[in-house]
Amino acid sequence: MASTVRYDSHCWAWYFGEFERRSNGADGIVVKRSDLTAAKAADLTRELRRASNQQGESERILIDYDQTAEYFPKSTLVEHISFELFDNRLAVRLAVQTTDRVDDDQLVSRVDNAVGPLLRRAKYVLVEVDAEQYTSTTPFVHDLCFTMPTRGKTMQDIYTVAEQISTLFGAADTGALRRDTALELLRAGHANLLIGQPESDWLDVKSDHYDLSAERGKISLASAVARFCNGEGGGIVLVGMDTKRIPGGELIKSVRPVPIDVQTLRRYRQAIENRLFPFPYALQLDTVETSPGQGLVIVSVPAQEEELKPFLVHGAIVDGRVEGAYISIVRRSGEDSIPISAQQIHSTLAAGRALLRRGQLRTNKHQPN
């Protein structure tokens, strides 16, 4: 079988398929993004090794930033992702940004916090970091270098994971995924980047729709939203991803799209309005389509003002039974839900009555339209 990548030592030219690719005169060999699809990682690794043995140094494979322009390597701008040899293994190098200055150790920690689950899933290993120490203005641009398995992979496969690393690190910014950055990834169609992330005090994941045709489903949805309303920082109820149990909690293991249609958000919103009081301030409901008629449902709950708490759910599920006349109050702790105690409820009511007597109770401005 013909090699998908070939180095010609006689004229120092590279061939990706039938296309000749040359150096830009300074940094490396410039290829088009389209060259990556058919190029096998094993073929590129072999040819990089051969070129390194003959030239005495490793060549670097750069990617033309403009995918539509005519190929002209000497004047092209290149992407922030490139390929090279590291300790005689194929490696991918990419640039990431932070809004504050970090040293190498801090950068390693942020990479692990932000993209650790993705790296472990894809079996990428961080082998080199170069934190920018001399720039005086933001953003600060840093280099990361990863090695990875190459068997059965195309260069496009490796590029795709590198692009995901860049996207996820950029969304996390400070190195830890948060409600707002996860929401940004989900809305941008990058739900797969949450695979490997744990459920937490701001993330509740469901593999199937709440059954909103039954009281149990309506109460369960309202309770899930109320848990974040009564917490400190809000959260996301995410429908359409599967989890697996691990010691101490659950991890997202896959995207599992659910049926969605033009009425999906109306049904979810109506169930929350009818079962949760007061209605959460700035609550956002979104659907993200992953294929025709399939996708994710996202209920984003911003942090709520203390004056609105506690949020009350009309109905409760007690020992597996639906009790529609009950009022329940819950909040989230880690991945678990815990009831608010009688003492906490009493102290809240007593404080409210005291404020009423003094005429100092603030007006609730955040009622639903």
Indicate the pLDDT class of residue 337, thresholds 50, 70 and 90.
very low
The span from the CA of 127 to the CA of 39, in Å, is 24
pLDDT of residue 332: 61
CATH code that applies to domain 197-358? 3.30.950
pLDDT of residue 120: 92
pLDDT of residue 358: 72
Q: What is the pTM of this model?
A: 0.75
The CA–CA distances, whole Å, from 257 to 139, 208, 236, 241, 273 equal 36, 8, 16, 7, 25
pLDDT of residue 335: 40
Which of 38-47, 227-236, 323-332 is least confident? 323-332
Query: Is the per-residue pLDDT at 251 higher than 70?
Result: yes
pLDDT of residue 336: 42
pLDDT of residue 109: 94
* Residue ranges per structural domain of the chain: 5-176, 197-358
Residue pLDDT, tens place only, 43-96:
999 999 999 998 878 899 999 999 888 898 888 899 999 999 999 999 999 999
Of residues 288 and 196, the one with the higher pLDDT is 288
Query: Is the per-residue pLDDT at 157 higher than 60?
Result: yes
pLDDT of residue 175: 64
Could you tell me the two tokens for 13? Answer: 């030219």
Mean of pLDDT values over 174-199: 87
Tell me if 82 sits within 8 A of 91, measured CB to CB. Answer: no
* In the chain, alpha helices (H): 41-55, 104-122, 155-172, 179-187, 215-229, 264-275, 342-358
Tell me if 313 sits within 8 A of 330, measured CB to CB. Answer: yes
pLDDT of residue 334: 45
Rounded to 5°, angle at Cα 94 from 92 and 96: 150
Query: Is the per-residue pLDDT at 111 higher than 60?
Result: yes
The span from the CA of 45 to the CA of 6, in Å, is 10
Residue pLDDT, tens place only, 113-153:
889 989 999 999 999 999 998 888 888 999 999 999 999 99
pLDDT of residue 18: 92
Element (DSSP H or E) covering residue 299: strand 294-301
The CA–CA distances, whole Å, from 303 to 145, 179, 215, 235 equal 37, 10, 27, 8
Mean of pLDDT values over 239-260: 94
**Average pLDDT across the chain, whole number:** 89
Mean of pLDDT values over 217-241: 94
